[in-house]
């Protein structure tokens, strides 16, 4: 049996906020296999954002071990962590987080720049990624010329252009209407079908319903971890 | 990320804020421009002072009749005659450090004419020795020799400007010019010396001193109605020569210890040196002021880069999220600052070049473009970019990606 993609043991994260010590995570154990479709749920303050930050290598645990693809990433330097992020993780954010006044194509190309991919290769891969999210023909549009759903699809293209095995989606449908949400969830489910691991972070149970496994956090601890049959998103024709 | 891509990103980011970029750049443009213009101007001014000094001839002293003091009103140098032609002979014989000595009688604003043209110039009456003191040779024809210089023939040696004004393209040699109604034969045209302390060196006519006395002055008198030019044998003999001349003249003029000198000895070298020193000091001051303005320009760059980092916090967060390392972010902002400063520096070079040329024209200096200073200034511009861009760039690179991603603009 191959090693799991993500293996977290005894993860704790404490912040100092003013004079108080905030325990955002109090000892989390979690194993995620490659190709999984998983939703992390919890109310605000449950620690799910901290969880996502640590899983996405944006943050580091105060205590515990985190093996990502067999490599311990809990004690890496900022620079090494950035490198791991670039290669292993693709982010999709609630607010899209595209660079303004920059075309869709350039936005998608950006992660490849930091991996030193040449201009021609970058262009080819970014075009393929945009095509994958049905945005062929929109590559020269800037974010303000695109609808919310289209912007989120650009962001997904940006997340998958690097062939990162893990896609982390933080409330990916939070700013979208329900029809567009379904489109976006359909694309994410498609990625799972291709063998990528998609981790959804959400507080909405109907979004979590699209995942095959739902983990619920409260007060920095996992209180529930259940498998389910995911709802199939109807992809708009 | 490769450096080419980084430059492209930097240019694009700067292009996005054209007005701001331009305004920030202006600080550098004027800083660099001022440094170059000031250094160029300083060098031009010093060179022209030096030229003045050299055009006077080195090791030259000027002996003049002293000014009159009648009822407290000074009559100007030479207004009371005291130096005689015999004094000149005596000085030549008794002061061993004198190499050459020549009388110089001058009539400024004298109208002269050729067949077709006329011109207003300065007429000098002197001897053959004067040409040696001034180290001045004829480009065409000859200057005076002992015989012609000491005689009273109506011959003239003219400067280049005079030759051109009177005869245009054709040669002035052997032509006749009229000075105060009298015809003179041009026996020589002097080599061009260009601009001097009193304006154009070449705007001059030289005739034998005896001819001058007879035709332009009051005839052959006892006193020298002008000045004596003395050239010392060696550079360092000015002091001793002045002392010796003073002693000889005081003795000949029978002045007792209570009486002041009735003559004056000037040392143009000293004057030139003083002028050169003050020019140098002013040039230095101006260069410092220019450097300060460059420094202020650099602070402008830093200020804008800091604002830019804050404005683009979110962008920094996004870039970090997709794999930008701190060094990538730092490089990006640093390269932006460097490009800003370097382009400003390049424009500053042009501005400085133009200003230097304009100043040279305006003040009649020789145009200098200080290539070494330009190179240094350009280097400094790059340095300003690095120096003042580094702190904002480091701040950008130290941002926490999570905080940066959440930053609301």
Extended beta strands in B267-303, E state: none
- pLDDT tens per residue across span B296-311: 888 989 999 999 999 9
Which residues of chain B are within 8 Å of residue A86 when distances are taken between CB atoms? 322-324
Predicted pLDDT at B36: 87
A139's CB contacts (< 8 A; 6+ apart) are A103, A104, A105, A108, A126, A127, A130
**Radius of gyration, CA atoms only, chain B:** 33
**Mean pLDDT, chain B, whole residue set:** 87
Q: How many CB atoms lie within 10 A of CB B409?
A: 9
A32 or B53, higher pLDDT: A32
CA distance B36 to chain A (A): 38
Q: Considering chain B, what percentage of its residues have pLDDT values greater than 90? A: 43
Residue with tokens 């000031």: B38
Closest residue on chain A to B17 (Cα): A101
Predicted pLDDT at B356: 87
Residue with tokens 């042009």: B350
B77, pLDDT greater than 60: no
- pLDDT tens per residue across span B131-177: 988 888 899 999 998 888 888 899 999 999 999 999 988 888 999 99
List the single best residue of A52, A82, A121 to mutate versus B (max B Cβ within 10 A).
A82
CA distance A113 to chain B (A): 6
Helix (H) / strand (E) containing A65: strand A63-68
CB contact under 8 A, B1 and A85: no
List the single best residue of B6, B11, B316, B322 to mutate versus A (max A Cβ within 10 A).
B322
Task: Please state the ipTM of this predicted complex.
Answer: 0.94
Which residues of chain B are within 8 Å of residue A53 when distances are taken between CB atoms? 402
B55: left (phi over 0), alpha (psi -120 to 50) or beta: alpha
B280, pLDDT greater than 90: no
Task: Check if the beta carbon of residue A98 is closer than 8 Å to that of residue A110.
Answer: no
Predicted pLDDT at B372: 83
**Radius of gyration, CA atoms only, chain A:** 18
Confidence at B76, pLDDT banded by 50, 70, 90: low
Rounded Cα distance between A181 and A198, Å, is: 16
Task: Check if the beta carbon of residue B125 is closer than 8 Å to that of residue B212.
Answer: yes
| Beta pairing class for B155-158 and B204-208 | antiparallel
CB contact under 8 A, B323 and A79: no
Closest residue on chain A to B317 (Cα): A97
Q: Considering chain B, what percentage of its residues have pLDDT values greater than 70? A: 94
List chain A residues with pLDDT less than 70. 1-2, 235-237
| Beta pairing class for A63-68 and A213-218 | unpaired
Write down all domains in chain A, each with its CATH number in brackets: 34-60+77-227 (3.40.50.300)
Rounded Cα distance between A33 and A199, Å, is: 11
B257, pLDDT greater than 90: no
Extended beta strands in B44-117, E state: 60-65, 69-70, 73-74, 98-113
Rounded Cα distance between B384 and B296, Å, is: 10
A148's CB contacts (< 8 A; 6+ apart) are A96, A175, A176, A177, A180
Q: How many CB atoms lie within 10 A of CB B337?
A: 29
- Give mean pLDDT, residues B227-248: 89
Task: Check if the beta carbon of residue B229 is closer than 8 Å to that of residue B102.
Answer: yes
Of B314, B326, B402, the CB nearest to A53: B402
Rounded Cα distance between B44 and B366, Å, is: 6
Interface of B with A in 309-348 (CB under 8 A): 314-315, 317-328
Task: Check if the beta carbon of residue A21 is closer than 8 Å to that of residue A15.
Answer: yes
Extended beta strands in B128-173, E state: 138-141, 155-158
Q: How many CB atoms lie within 10 A of CB B13?
A: 20
Cross-strand bridge partners of residue A202: A41
Predicted pLDDT at B70: 47
Predicted pLDDT at B55: 66
Closest residue on chain B to A159 (Cα): B322
Angle, vertex CA A186, rays to CA A180 and CA A191, nearest 5:
135
Confidence at B79, pLDDT banded by 50, 70, 90: low
Closest residue on chain A to B316 (Cα): A99
Task: Check if the beta carbon of residue A223 is closer than 8 Å to that of residue A217.
Answer: yes
Pick the range with the lowest mean pLDDT from B100-104, B268-272, B400-404. Answer: B268-272
| Beta pairing class for B98-113 and B227-232 | antiparallel
CA distance A193 to chain B (A): 23
CA distance A229 to chain B (A): 31
B170's CB contacts (< 8 A; 6+ apart) are none
The pTM assigned to this predicted structure is 0.73
CA distance B40 to chain A (A): 44
CB contact under 8 A, B321 and A58: yes
CB contact under 8 A, B323 and A158: no
Give the sheet arrangement for strand A37-41, strand by strand: A89-92, A166-170, A197-202, A37-41, A213-218, A221-227
Helix (H) / strand (E) containing A26: strand A20-32
Rounded Cα distance between B108 and A152, Å, is: 89
Predicted pLDDT at B196: 65
CA distance B323 to chain A (A): 4
CB contact under 8 A, A97 and B321: yes
The two three-digit tokens of residue B344, written as one number = 């400003």
Report DSSP letters for B185-228, one per residue: EEEEEEPP--EETTEETTSEEEEEHHHHHHHHSS-S-SB-SSEE
Own/partner contacts of B127-133, CB < 8 Å, gap of 24 or more, are B127/B102, B127/B103, B127/B208, B127/B209, B129/B100, B129/B101, B129/B102, B130/B102, B130/B104, B130/B206, B130/B229, B131/B157, B131/B206, B132/B100, B132/B102, B132/B231, B133/B57, B133/B60, B133/B100, B133/B102, B133/B229, B133/B231
List the single best residue of A54, A109, A113, A121 to mutate versus B (max B Cβ within 10 A).
A113
Helix (H) / strand (E) containing A218: strand A213-218
Cross-strand bridge partners of residue B116: none
Could you tell me if B350 lies within 8 Å of chain A, comparing CB atoms?
Answer: no
Pick the range with the lowest mean pLDDT from B20-29, B37-46, B246-255. Answer: B37-46
Backbone phi and psi for residue A175, each to the nearest 5 degrees, phi listed first: -105, 20
Rounded Cα distance between B189 and B175, Å, is: 11
The two three-digit tokens of residue B294, written as one number = 């460059």
List the single best residue of B10, B11, B321, B394 to mutate versus A (max A Cβ within 10 A).
B321
Rounded Cα distance between A183 and A185, Å, is: 5
The two three-digit tokens of residue A11, written as one number = 């993860």
Rounded Cα distance between B155 and B172, Å, is: 13
CB contact under 8 A, A82 and B324: yes
Helix (H) / strand (E) containing A14: strand A6-17
List the single best residue of A78, A121, A144, A169 to mutate versus B (max B Cβ within 10 A).
A78
């Amino acid at each position: 049996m191959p090693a799991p993609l993500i293996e977290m043991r005894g993860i704790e994260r404490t912040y100092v906020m003013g004079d108080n010590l905030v325990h955002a995570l109090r000892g989390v154990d979690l194993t995620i296999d490659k190709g999984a479709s998983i939703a992390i749920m919890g109310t605000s303050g449950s620690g799910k954002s901290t969880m996502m930050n640590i899983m996405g290598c944006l943050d580091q645990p105060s205590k515990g071990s985190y093996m990502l693809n067999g490599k311990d990433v809990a004690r890496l330097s900022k620079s090494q962590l950035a490198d791991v992020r670039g290669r292993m993780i693709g982010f999709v954010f609630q607010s899209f987080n595209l660079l303004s006044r920059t075309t869709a194509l350039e936005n998608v190309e950006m992660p490849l720049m930091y991996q030193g991919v040449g201009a021609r290769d970058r262009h080819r891969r970014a075009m393929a990624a945009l095509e994958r999210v049905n945005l062929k023909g929109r590559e020269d549009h800037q974010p303000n010329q695109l609808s919310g759903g289209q912007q989120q699809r650009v962001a997904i293209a940006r997340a998958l252009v690097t062939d990162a095995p893990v896609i982390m989606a933080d409330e990916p449908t939070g700013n979208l209407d329900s029809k567009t949400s379904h489109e976006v969830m359909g694309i994410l489910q498609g990625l799972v079908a291709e063998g990528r691991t998609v981790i959804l972070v959400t507080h909405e149970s109907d979004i979590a319903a699209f995942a095959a496994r739902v983990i619920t956090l409260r007060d920095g601890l996992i209180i529930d971890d259940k498998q389910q049959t995911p709802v199939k998103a109807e992809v708009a024709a | 990320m490769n450096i080419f891509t980084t430059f492209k990103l930097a240019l694009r980011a700067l292009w996005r804020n054209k007005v701001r970029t331009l305004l920030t750049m202006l600080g550098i443009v004027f800083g660099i421009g001022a440094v170059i213009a000031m250094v160029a101007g300083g060098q031009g001014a010093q060179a022209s002072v030096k030229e003045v000094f050299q055009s006077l001839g080195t090791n030259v002293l000027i002996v003049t009749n002293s000014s009159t003091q009648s009822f407290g009103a000074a009559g100007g140098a030479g207004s009371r005659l005291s130096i005689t032609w015999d004094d000149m002979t005596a000085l030549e014989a008794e002061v061993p450090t004198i190499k050459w000595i020549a009388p110089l009688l001058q009539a400024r604003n004298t109208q002269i004419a050729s067949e077709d043209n006329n011109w207003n110039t300065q007429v000098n009456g002197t001897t053959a020795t004067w040409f040696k003191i001034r180290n001045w040779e004829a480009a065409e024809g000859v200057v005076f020799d002992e015989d012609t210089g000491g005689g009273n023939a109506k011959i003239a040696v003219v400067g280049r400007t005079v030759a051109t004004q009177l005869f245009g393209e054709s040669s002035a040699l052997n032509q006749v010019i009229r000075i105060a109604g009298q015809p003179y034969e041009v026996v020589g045209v002097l080599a061009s010396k260009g601009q001097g302390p009193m304006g154009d060196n070449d705007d001059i006519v030289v005739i034998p001193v005896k001819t001058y006395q007879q035709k332009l002055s009051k005839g052959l008198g006892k006193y020298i109605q002008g000045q004596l030019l003395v050239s010392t044998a060696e550079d360092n003999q000015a002091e001793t020569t002045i002392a010796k001349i003073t002693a000889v003249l005081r003795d000949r003029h029978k002045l007792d210890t209570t009486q002041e000198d009735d003559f004056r000895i000037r040392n143009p070298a000293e004057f030139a040196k003083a002028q050169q020193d003050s020019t140098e000091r002013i040039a230095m001051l101006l260069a410092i002021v220019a450097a300060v303005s460059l420094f202020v320009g650099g602070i402008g760059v830093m200020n804008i880069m800091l604002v830019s980092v804050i404005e683009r916090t979110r962008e920094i967060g996004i870039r970090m999220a997709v794999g930008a390392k701190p060094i990538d972010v730092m490089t990006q902002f640093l390269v932006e600052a460097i490009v800003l400063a370097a382009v400003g520096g390049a424009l500053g070079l042009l501005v400085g070049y133009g200003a230097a040329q304009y100043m040279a024209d305006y003040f009649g200096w020789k145009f200098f473009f200080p290539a070494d200073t330009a190179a240094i200034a350009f280097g400094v511009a790059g340095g300003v970019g690095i120096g003042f861009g580094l702190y904002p760039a480091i701040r950008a690179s130290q941002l926490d990606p999570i905080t940066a991603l959440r930053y609301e603009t």
